[in-house]
Each structure stands twice: as structure tokens, then as C-alpha cells.
Structure 1
Amino acid sequence: MRFGVVGTNFVSDFFMNGAKEVAECEVAAVCSGRKENAIKFAEKYQIPLVFDNYIEMIESKEIDAIYLAIPNSLHYEITCECIKRGIPTLTEKPFASNYNEAKHMIELSKEYKTYLHDGLIPMYTDNFQILKDNLHLVGKVRRGVFVFGKYSSRYDAYLRGENPTTFRRELCNGSCMDIGVYAIGDAVALFGKPKKIIATGILLDTGVDGLGSCTLIYDTFEVCIQHSKITDTKIISEIQGEEGTIQIDMPSRMDGMWFYPRNPERAGMHKVDESGKVLLSKPSQEGFAYQLRDFIENVKEGRHESLKLPHQMTLDIMEVLTECRRQMGVIYPCDEKEIG
């Protein structure tokens, strides 16, 4: 399948690393509003075609699918245009700027019978499936804790007054959208939509959140989420149950997972190491490789959505994400626009 890539920032490098691991994936074209960036990217990865207009790239008939690594504020507009032209589309996370945009994008996908893929990596990985399959080991779940904090490489520029794209309200950025979405996505994919949401955040002068937290409340347990773009963390994520705890090294990748049984003998575990844990995860590939295989398979099967991350799950994640932003007071210009 011939892909066109729109956008040449660092996440497009990750895409290319994943594409190398998928035999059926060929990157045939790259597009950037700054053509010089597209030329450099094409030279780096030996991509044959370069464009500075994604419509021209689609209409060239040289690609079969498109990957959008573009600012969050453009996801809605450009994804809709790709759908209307019948081009299977992989939209980078967060899927949209808000719930209403996501809902309309998915409605268009059904109307035009065009495959639309949410680029939230964890749900496509083998280790996420392993986590789901082994969740019963902890017994009755009582608490989930998902923590993802990473000091942004662009925060120093922000502190110098340079206004980098990472922290711009008009581009629909911020910690919850960039990093919190992974933790929220993991929680919703594992446990469904919560009954109640409580969210707080520390806002920067630009009007976006530098860090924040939210609690997702379910009938018999809670999920606590912490996210940050302005601090690092060494706290590990975990799911706590009455029979044990599963620890997860990073919500965005699921590379390492361990089960700590409260009672190893009763749990029937035979591979508990000296620290009392059992390795659950298996060695991982580049995250994009998993979702590219899923993307290609679903397009070949004539589906309009992934079975691993169906559209209703995307809508549930976007509903939670949008409500967290609302409670934090992070409002984007697009939130006030009429959709459709």
C-alpha cells in the first residue's frame, strides 16, 4: 500500500521507522507546507515524490492512503477533505480537537465509506492485548494509576518567550492533548467510559495546560491520571486489584509490564522472580508497525474502522478528553465553531 505522509516533524520519523518493518507499506510521497522541509525529508528516507499541497498529492493518484502528522488544529479540516476524496486516512493523535469534530469525522467516514484510523498507538500493540488478557490476574480492580510526564524539549524555548508550537492555544495543544491522551485512551480502552470525571490543570500564559491530573470514577474503582509537559516523572503506572498489581512502564508504548501477585501460590504463578513479579510483556517493535499492519488489513477487508480501536471507542476517549479540558479551563477557538 502506497502511503503519502503529510507533515515532517519528529513523529513522522517514528512513522518511517515503523513503515520499514511492514513489508506491505511503501511511502511514496511526502508533503509539507514548507516544500524545503518535504525535500529534506524525502532525501532522508529516499521518498520519490514531494508536494507542498496534500490535495495535489491525493489527486496525483500516486498514493493509496495518507498519514496526517499535522498540528492538532488541522486534524478536522484535512481529515474531512481526505475522507471526501475516498482516501483511507491515518490521523495522528489526538484524533481531533474536541468531541464534536471527532463525531463529524466519523460520520463522514461512514457516509463516504472511507476507512478512518485513530493514530493512538497503544491499542494496536501486542502488549496492550496481553494486558487485557491478563487483567483478571489482579482480581477485583480497585484503582488504576496512569502517569506520563515528560519535560518538553520546547519548554525552554517557551520560557525564553519564543512561543513554540507545543504550547499554543490556537493550535489546540497542551499537556492533556499531547500526553494525557495516552493515559485517558488506555483507561477508556480497558474500562470503558467513566461515570464521573474530575479534572484539574496548571495553565500557562498561552492558555494551555502545562500539566494536569484527572480522576475517572467507575462503579467500584477509580482511575487516577497525571500528565505533564513541563516536568519529568519516575512514577510507574499500575492497575491495583484485590489479588495483585500490574505495573506498566509507559502508557504510550506498553513496552514493559509486570504482575505482582499478592499471594503467588494461590494465584498459581510459577515464574515469580526474586522480587516477587512476573514478566507479562514481550519485546516490542516500533509502535507504528503495529498500527500500520492493522490499517492495511482493515482496508483490504473493506472495513471503515479498526476492530482494535473502533470509532465508538475513539468517541468515548474524545468525550473524556474534551470534558477534562473544559474542567481545566482550556478552551480552543474551534470549540466555539459550528461543526458540519
Structure 2
Amino acid sequence: MLQLGVIGTNWITQQFIEAAQQTHTFQLREVYSRTQEHAQNLINQVNGTDTLITTDLTKFFASPEFEVVYIASPNSLHFQYICQAIAANKQVIVEKPMVSTRAEFLQIQELLQNHPGIYVLEAARHIHEPEFATLKQQVQQLDRIDGATITYRKYSSRYDLVLTGQEPNIFSPKFSGGALYDLGVYLLYDAVCLFGQPLSAQYLPQMIATGVDGQGTIVLHYDHFDVTMLVGKISNSILPSEIYSGKKTLSFDDGGTVRKIWNNYNDWQFTGTDHNPMLAETEVFAQIIQQKDQTQFNQLWQIADQVNQLLTQIRLAAGIKFAADRSEA
């Protein structure tokens, strides 16, 4: 197993560690947190043994206890942690979005060119799942694509804080928050993986009091069709997603975690299993790192590159500004 260090102690870190334990791919060795208490709580939740706690970031990256770091900090902090990890010759798995801006992405790309054998892997977990592979196979069997509507709207409990006048990280421009840079990343990965890079794109956001988007509509323009994507963190949607091909419609239940797929033309339907959605990505990432699989890494990096381009382009065109943008001015 690969030895793992983590940054971030919230539920998503716990889910990743539990997936790694199930797949026997990574062993938790060290936790960085600003507080000893939060780190210990995480270790207790995942039944960690002989796991170190570090509150000093410099000491954390200098530690010989782990070779791979999983980063699940607020979005705006990803870039600096990735840079420190690469400098320390650590392999990197980082929660989406990988970084906040286009310039940050290109700087990471340059760092990787100067550190051969180091990988930075964006944890777009859903595209690695077998259910998504089944969806992709069904799309490829369609005679043509006439369009699609993909939905991922899920109410965030943190929005309750916004309604009381607070600014939680996930809804803060200081931390590169908002619906597009959270759930919207899943939808853009869906589109790029299923249909390729669009010719053009736009985002119509519904802004909230903190200065970021609470929800909105993404429209991707392809050569002969459009893809409309509904994203949000201030409302819930129970709409299925649909891909159109003449009289045929291919449907699936969730733009972020595909579990059911069905169609209207031959009574075919598919139901996946209820499991930790990070299982597949832990296996894929471990394989890339252990086998030094540059080909598979390059494929994932190309998709991440396209998603980052789209994210930055449509965000800035929609007038959504982050603190990270000012730091580059």
C-alpha cells in the first residue's frame, strides 16, 4: 500500500480514507490540521493506528512517513499546497477543483514538467466509477447526439449560514467558492468525457449575498447540438439528466453520482450498486502512481486541462471574481 498524508479533516477526507481502506490502496500515516483536536477526531473516525498529527505545514511536507498527499482544503488553498507537495517530491491527489485560476493550472503544469515522476491527480471521482463507464458506452452507441440536459442541484446546509449573514468558505469568493466551482465541476467533467471539448460555453449565474453564485445554468455549444446543465447549492432538484438522439432519449439519475441509467427505446435499464463513490478513484490513482503510468496520467491531465479552461472562462465571463484573481493581477 502507498503511504498517505492528508490535509483537511472534513467528511470528504473521511470518505476518501475509508475508500482507500476498502481497496487496500493507501494507508493513512499522517494528518495535517491547524488543530490537534480536529486531526484526532478524523483518526478516530477512520480507526487510524500509529497515525501522526502535524500542525506545522513545513514539517508535514518534510515528513518521511508518507509519499502521497490527499488535499481537501478550501479551494483557494489547493494551489499553494500542490506547489509545496511537488517541491517535496510528494505525489498529489487533490479534490476538485484542482485550482482556482487558469494561471495556477499552467504553473502546476510547468512544475510537473520539472519534476518527472510526480503526478497531480484531480479527484473527479465519478468519471472513474463503473456506472459512468456504462453511461459512456451507451452514449457511444447512439446514432447521433442532438443535445443533452444534465442536472446537479443539491441544497447545502452551509447556505443556512449565508441566510443569517455569514460567509462560510464554500460560499466565499475569498476561498473560491460557489456552485460552479463545486458541483459544476462534476457537470463539466460529464460533458467533456461524454461529448468532448465544446466550441464555446457560457454561464448564467444566480448570485447570492456573499458575492458568488448560488446556482445557475451552464450552456455548452457543440458543432450540431447544445448541452444545458443546471447546477446549484441553494435548491434541490429531482430531475433526471437526459441525452437526446432523435426519437431516443438516454436518461440517468444524477450528474454527480450515476447509479441508474435507462432509455425510452428498448426498455433497457441499468442499476448500479450503493457504495462509497471514491472506491474506483483510489484504485485508478494508486495504479498510476505505483506503475508510473504516464499514459493514463496524460489522459486524465488533458481532461483536467479542458475542465479548468472551461471553469475559468465561463466564471470570468459571468463576472464572478475570486481573491485568487486579484493575486495574479
Q: TM-score range by the shorter chain?
A: over 0.9
Tell me how far apart the structure 2 counterparts of residues 3 and 131 of structure 1 sit (CA, whole Å).
Answer: 32
CA distance 1:304–1:109, change in 2 (3 Å): farther
How many Å apart are 1:107 and its aligned residue? Answer: 2.3
**Where do 1:36-51 residues align within 5 Å?**
36-47=37-48, 48-51=51-54
What are the ranges of 5 or more consecutive residues in structure 2 without an aligned counterpart? none
How many Å apart are 1:309 and its aligned residue? Answer: 5.2
Deviations 1:28-49, CA, capped at 9 Å, x for gaps = 1211122221122122223321
Deviations 1:208-261, CA, capped at 9 Å, x for gaps = 001111110000111101111111111111111125222111111112212322
2:159 to 141, 155, 166: 155
Tell me how far apart the structure 2 counterparts of residues 189 and 165 of structure 1 sit (CA, whole Å).
Answer: 29
Question: What is the letter of the counterpart of residue 250 of structure 2?
Answer: I
Aligned to 2:230: 226
2:253 to 249, 256, 279: 249
Tell me how far apart the structure 1 counterparts of residues 271 and 110 of structure 2 sit (CA, whole Å).
Answer: 36
Deviations 1:302-340, CA, capped at 9 Å, x for gaps = 13574495212111101111112112211112123339x
Matched, 1:86 2:76: no
Matched, 1:56 2:77: no
Q: Verify the 8 A CA contact 1:109 1:304 in the aligned structure 2.
A: no
Aligned to 2:106: 103
Q: Verify the 8 A CA contact 1:185 1:317 in the aligned structure 2.
A: yes
Q: Verify the 8 A CA contact 2:199 2:220 in the aligned structure 1.
A: yes
SS of aligned partner of 1:131: helix
How many Å apart are 1:17 and its aligned residue? Answer: 2.5
**Where do 1:1-340 residues align within 5 Å?**
1-47=2-48, 48-113=51-116, 114-242=118-246, 244-261=248-265, 264=266, 272=267, 278-283=268-273, 285-304=275-294, 306-307=296-297, 310-338=300-328
Percent identity among equivalent residues? 26
Q: Verify the 8 A CA contact 1:169 1:208 in the aligned structure 2.
A: yes
Q: Verify the 8 A CA contact 2:61 2:84 in the aligned structure 1.
A: no
What are the ranges of 5 or more consecutive residues in structure 1 without an aligned counterpart? 265-271, 273-277
SS of aligned partner of 2:229: strand
Question: What is the letter of the counterpart of residue 24 of structure 1?
Answer: T
Question: What is the letter of the counterpart of residue 71 of structure 1?
Answer: P
Q: Verify the 8 A CA contact 2:25 2:282 in the aligned structure 1.
A: no
How many Å apart are 1:13 and its aligned residue? Answer: 2.0
Tell me how far apart the structure 2 counterparts of residues 236 and 53 of structure 1 sit (CA, whole Å).
Answer: 45
Tell me how far apart the structure 2 counterparts of residues 136 and 44 of structure 1 sit (CA, whole Å).
Answer: 41
Q: Verify the 8 A CA contact 2:71 2:93 in the aligned structure 1.
A: yes
How many Å apart are 1:142 and its aligned residue? Answer: 0.6
Tell me how far apart the structure 2 counterparts of residues 161 and 215 of structure 1 sit (CA, whole Å).
Answer: 31
Q: Verify the 8 A CA contact 2:4 2:67 in the aligned structure 1.
A: yes
How many Å apart are 1:55 and its aligned residue? Answer: 3.3
TM-score by length of 1: 0.91
What is the count of residue pairs matched by the alignment? 325
Question: What is the letter of the counterpart of residue 209 of structure 1?
Answer: D
Tell me how far apart the structure 2 counterparts of residues 53 and 119 of structure 1 sit (CA, whole Å).
Answer: 25
SS of aligned partner of 1:176: coil
Question: What is the letter of the counterpart of residue 127 of structure 1?
Answer: E
